[in-house]
Structure 1
Amino acid sequence: MTGGRRNLVLVHGAWHGPWCWELLVPELESRGWAVSAVDLPSTWGEPETGMHDDARAVREHLAAIDGPVTVLAHSYGGLPATEGAGPNTERIIYLAAHLLKEGESLVAPLGGPWFPADAEFAPGAEPLEAYYHDVPADWARKAVGLLRAQSAKAFTEELTRASWRTIPSALIVCDDDRSMPEMFIERAVTERMAAVVRHLPGGHSPFLARPRELAELIDEVTAALPGTSQVSPLWTS
């Protein structure tokens, strides 16, 4: 990943895998990005794995890349991206993703946990409605068939660091998101956890519903964010 190309690492959300980026990757590559994806171990069917294992996978993946990296994290993937961001992480883009503080887990703000720590979660009764209501029907059906069990431990382990405090970060809000609780988005915006906030129409999975628009927005957001060596207050909406 050298020769002047920009490095972008993709971090998927709960129940998903690197397959979810299939339509987005060629759009990004056509814009000059060198793209790679992390496969989070908490979705491998091993209940003992958690968010810190996922963060380790992110950290190791980033360490293998020569040069500065932009990280794009979706949904739950915002947690291991926040925890695992490495010294060469130049920017983080949170795509319909969780921005939390040190000492917080994903379910704590929701009053959890309310399940056994060694449980595994299925993707829910209505994944089409929750994740893919605006995705083309053929891809929506394919995506539902590719979803994997998710370890509950990933939702209960607490962050030890909040990289968005020191790494320039952006939040992309999906305006018809039927999966992400509004409280997380409202809190991130109100407390200005992200330097740049942008909006996309549609639901929780724009990488399948509108990959070209998402790739264009990633370019725009990247240009709006300072590099880590140029951190300064910045807020747009």
Structure 2
Amino acid sequence: MTDGPLRPTLLLVHGAWHGAWCWEKLTSVLGAEGWQTRTVDLPSAGGRAGVQDDAQVIRAELESIDGPVVVVAHSYGGIPASQAVAEAGNVARVVYLSAFQLDVGESLLGFYGVPVSAERGDFETWPGDPVEMFYGDLPRAEAEEAAKRLVPQSAKSFSDALTEAGWHTVPSTYIVCEDDQALPAKSQQALAARSGTVHRIAGGHSPFLAKPVELAALLAAIVLQPDA
């Protein structure tokens, strides 16, 4: 890879229950390869914020970056990322990593056909065993340590619908995680049909932890050869 003034910054947007901490392995690898990275902590993770609040945090980070940006959004993070990039002028591409690439009027619960209920409470608990669901291809001890860092996720963030979907105007790429236990490959493929290009990576829901070197290489290829 060659360095140059046009190489974009990668803005990494985490998914539900997580935080910017989940990108630490990946940012280390990317940094060693000369990539500039930024991360955000979404307020819906650990708080009662919704999609619009998360999108505002992403938008503010985008506004602080000089030059082009490629947004890499994981899982739930794809929803506020889609909202945020619709109003950003410096986003060259959105990469959806096993993420919800939703359209205007859609919500996470709506994607699953789950009705919104006032009885859902303020927070969503993670489904099943998070070690198996999110980190099944990590060493057990590392997976358990990651699971300890998870926080409650705002229920509002799962029921809020998009009012804008930036992928209609910003080029997008989808990365399907083939052995994902949280967002099965079949669901990912349905979402990926909305992207301009689709790539695949072996493994589970969290390749930034399980396969940071492979994921970094794939992201570099996507950015440097976007139509491949």
Same fold (TM over 0.5): yes
1:193 alignment partner AA: R
SS in 2 for 1:159: coil
CA distance in 2, matches of 1:124, 1:197: 27
SS in 2 for 1:198: strand
The answer for the alignment partner of 2:25 in structure 1 is: 23
Aligned residues: 221
In structure 2, the residue matched to 1:103 is: 105
The within-5 A match list for 1:35-54 is 35-44=37-46, 46-47=47-48, 49-54=49-54
Q: 1:129 to 1:141 in 2, by over 3 A?
A: same
**Deviations along 1:109-129, whole A, 9 cap, x unmatched?**
212235436420222330011
Q: In the TM superposition, what is the alpha-carbon distance from 1:138 to its structure 2 partner?
A: 2.8
Q: Which residue of structure 2 aligns with residue 137 of structure 1?
A: 140
Matches within 5 A, 1:169-180: 169-180=172-183
| Range with bigger deviation, 136-145 or 57-66 | 136-145
CA distance in 2: counterparts of 1:54 and 1:220, whole angstroms: 28
Alpha-carbon shift at residue 221 of structure 1 (Å):
1.2
1:215 Cα deviation after fit: 0.1
Change in 2 beyond 3 A, CA 1:115/1:183: farther
Alpha-carbon shift at residue 182 of structure 1 (Å) = 4.4
Deviation at 1:84, TM superposition (A): 0.5
Aligned to 1:66: 66
1:8 matched to which residue of 2?
A: 10
Contact 1:196 1:221 in 2 (8 A): no
Q: Secondary structure at the match of 1:53?
A: helix
What is the Cα deviation at residue 61 of structure 1?
A: 0.7
Aligned match of 1:198: 199
What's the CA shift for 1:14? 0.1
- Separation (CA, whole Å) in 1 of partners of 2:224 and 2:197: 11
Q: Is the 8 A contact 1:139 1:208 kept in 2?
A: no
- Confirm or deny that 1:76 pairs with 2:76: yes
How far does the alpha carbon of each residue in 1:47-96 deviate from its partner, in whole angstroms, 9 at most, with x for none? 2x111100111001100111110110000000011001111111111101
Aligned equivalents of 2:101 and 2:130: distance in 1? 23
Match of 2:90 among 72, 88, 91: 88
CA drift of 1:142 comes to 1.1
CA distance in structure 2 between the aligned counterparts of 1:52 and 1:179, rounded to whole angstroms: 24
2:63, 2:165 → 1: CA distance?
A: 19
> Within 1, Cα distance between the matches of 2:162 and 2:185?
21
In 2, Cα distance between the equivalents of 1:109 and 1:43?
A: 20
The one-letter code matched in structure 2 to 1:76 is: Y
Find the residue that maps to 2:163 and give its secondary structure: coil
Q: 1:183 to 1:115 in 2, by over 3 A?
A: farther
Match of 1:184 in 2: 187
Residue deviations 1:157-178 (CA, integer Å, cap 9, x gap): 1111111111111000011000
Gaps of 5+ in 2: none
The reply to whether residue 159 of structure 1 matches residue 146 of structure 2 is no
Contact 1:10 1:72 in 2 (8 A): yes
For structure 1, the 5+ residue unaligned runs are 226-233
Give the one of 31, 34, 39 matched to 1:32.
34
In the superposition, the TM-score normalised over structure 2's length comes to: 0.91
